[in-house]
Amino acid sequence: MRTTLNIDDRLFQDVLSITKAKSKTEAVRTALTEFLRMKRKEKILAMRGRVDIRGSEKLREEEQREYEEIQQ
């Protein structure tokens, strides 16, 4: 999906630097993917004590899939 965004130059340069992305598209994709991963993790951690998540194979598979997406 093609989208036009207004992003602060300094912020975008930081994202490019941190992600070591080869393109702006790759930098945005990596940043958004990482943001979603962190938010999902926060949501899961907020459930600590309410749900037994130890040994959750599904969680491990999802984290592995997200990691592989970031590496592309």
Q: What is the pLDDT of residues 45-68, one digit of tens each?
A: 887 777 665 667 777 788 888 888
Domain ranges of the chain: 9-71
Task: Inform me whether the pLDDT recorded for 32 exceeds 80.
Answer: yes
Q: Please check the confidence at residue 24 and state whether its pLDDT lies above 90.
A: yes
Give the distance, in angstroms, between the CA of residue 38 and the centroid of all CA atoms in the same chain. 6
CB 66 within 8 A of CB 51: no
Q: Is 71 a residue whose pLDDT tops 80? A: no
Strands (E) across the chain are located at: none
Identify the pLDDT of residue 66.
84
Q: Measuring CA to CA, how many Å separate 51 from each of 36, 41, 56, 58, 61? A: 21, 14, 11, 14, 18
Rounded to 5 degrees, what are φ and ψ at 51? -135, 140
The pLDDT value given to residue 28: 94
